[in-house]
């Protein structure tokens, strides 16, 4: 079975993720397959639009091949770097692609799935959408452009999502601009058929099938999030949550205490610097350098052991507290790679 199905159906190029048992998590061959398809269709005048979705089972995409990344990180890291290199090229190619692309975020859209969907001009959420960047729970950080996208959300919501890994539903994705349309899940086949019939009017097709989303729950917390996550210093966020006294703040602090202090600090810096990045390519170059370093550090290998391999959900982070993560360590993680090893858009 092919993990990726790419076909041309009339005027539409179709990219379908097809690893149902892994919730369509991306591997190297899938990223390279997406790149090959986009390159083939770039100069093909008969292909007017691209549709990205998942084939069988639940989806859309649960992330990347985490076990492989951890196994590689425990060694020389070469395989992990090769995956990131191709994945980030795919993210960037989608971001700059000249033809309109529609991503159907129907179901779990996390990590690598976020990187696949958010560069697309049209992003369709449904009642099944579960959107998150949960990487700090496994000693990683919100990559695949997370530093770019999350830093551009309203107020401090991006920082909140990056640190906690909080899941958004489809309505919340629309309210925050992460999705452009909200369709009922049972309207997606109709949407795809109509896009194939009139690829020059994707907006019209999606607008006609859109329904009013339910209330976006996260907006009710907007003031609290902005106040409590105001700082770019992790210790100050802990202190603000601790001093608040409210039930939500206490729950949120308890959540943060389960995450990797090191990669929470990485995430805060990534968003702070990402907000000022001149281009998406600059962002991906930085994230590649950070990823190449983080994937070989203790917290990532330990986080994958605890959450994915042994499933004891009791990672032993080192350092164990925010105070013990020095600025020097974060500077090392953000050190640019030598030019010969650095990421390029291709």
Tell me if 343 is assigned to some domain.
no
Residue with tokens 């989608």: 94
Tell me if 322 is assigned to some domain.
yes
Instruction: Determine the pLDDT at residue 56.
Output: 83
Instruction: Determine the pLDDT at residue 305.
Output: 94
Dist CA 338 CA 324 (whole Å)? 28
Q: How many domains does the chain have?
A: 2
pLDDT in tens, 194-210: 999 999 999 999 999 99
pLDDT in tens, 208-225: 999 999 999 999 999 999
48 and 107 assigned to the same domain: yes
Instruction: Determine the pLDDT at residue 77.
Output: 92
Residues designated as active site? 64, 112, 135, 143
What mean pLDDT do residues 162-180 have?
98
**CB neighbours of residue 318 within 10 Å:** 15
With residue 61 as reference, give the H or E element that holds it.
strand 60-61
Tell me if 141 is assigned to some domain.
no
196 and 271 assigned to the same domain: no
What mean pLDDT do residues 100-114 have?
97
42 and 73 assigned to the same domain: yes
pLDDT in tens, 284-300: 999 999 999 999 999 99
200 and 264 assigned to the same domain: no
From the number of C-beta atoms within 10 Å of its C-beta (0-12, 13-18, 19+), residue 316 rates as exposed
Share above pLDDT 70 across residues of the chain, in percent, rounded to a whole number: 100
Tell me if 83 is assigned to some domain.
yes
205 and 224 assigned to the same domain: no
Q: What is the CATH number of the domain that holds 97?
A: 3.90.226.10
Q: Show the domain range for 262.
A: 220-338
Q: What ranges in the chain are assigned the alpha helix state H?
A: 28-42, 66-73, 78-96, 112-117, 146-149, 157-164, 170-175, 188-197, 202-209, 222-228, 234-244, 247-256, 261-274, 280-294, 298-304, 327-333
Residue 257: pLDDT over 80: yes
205 and 252 assigned to the same domain: no
Residue 346 pLDDT level (bands cut at 50, 70, 90): confident
Residue 189: pLDDT over 90: yes
């Amino acid at each position: 079975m092919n993990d990726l199905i790419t076909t041309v159906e009339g005027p539409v190029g179709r990219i379908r993720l097809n690893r149902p048992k892994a919730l369509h998590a991306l591997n190297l061959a899938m990223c390279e397959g997406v790149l090959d398809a986009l390159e083939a269709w770039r100069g093909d005048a008969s292909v007017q639009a691209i549709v990205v979705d998942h084939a069988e089972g639940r989806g859309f995409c649960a992330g990347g091949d985490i076990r492989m990344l951890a196994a590689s990180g425990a060694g020389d890291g070469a395989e992990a770097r090769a995956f990131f290199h191709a994945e980030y090229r795919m993210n960037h190619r989608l971001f700059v692609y000249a033809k309109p692309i529609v991503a159907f975020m129907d179901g779990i859209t996390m990590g690598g799935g976020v990187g696949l969907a958010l560069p697309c001009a049209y992003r369709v959420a449904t009642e099944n959408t579960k959107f998150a960047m949960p990487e700090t729970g496994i000693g990683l950080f919100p990559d695949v452009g997370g530093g770019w996208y999350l830093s551009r959300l309203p107020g401090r919501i991006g920082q909140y999502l990056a640190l906690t890994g909080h899941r958004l539903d489809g309505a919340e994705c629309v309210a925050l601009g992460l999705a452009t349309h909200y369709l009922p899940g049972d309207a997606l086949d109709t949407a795809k058929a109509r896009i194939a019939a009139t690829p020059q009017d994707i907006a019209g097709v999606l607008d006609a099938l859109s329904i009013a989303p339910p209330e976006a729950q996260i907006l009710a917390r907007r003031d609290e999030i902005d106040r409590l996550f105001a700082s770019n210093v992790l210790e100050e966020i802990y202190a603000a949550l601790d001093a608040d006294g409210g039930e939500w703040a206490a729950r949120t602090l308890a959540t943060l205490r389960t995450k990797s202090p090191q990669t929470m600090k990485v995430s805060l810096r990534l968003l702070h610097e990402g907000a000022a990045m001149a281009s998406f390519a600059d962002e991906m170059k930085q994230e590649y350098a950070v990823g190449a370093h983080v994937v070989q550090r203790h917290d990532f290998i330990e986080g994958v052991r605890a959450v994915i391999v042994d499933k004891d959900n009791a990672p032993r982070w080192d350092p164990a507290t925010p105070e013990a993560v020095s600025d020097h360590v974060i500077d090392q993680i953000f050190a640019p790679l030598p030019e010969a090893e650095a990421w390029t858009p291709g």
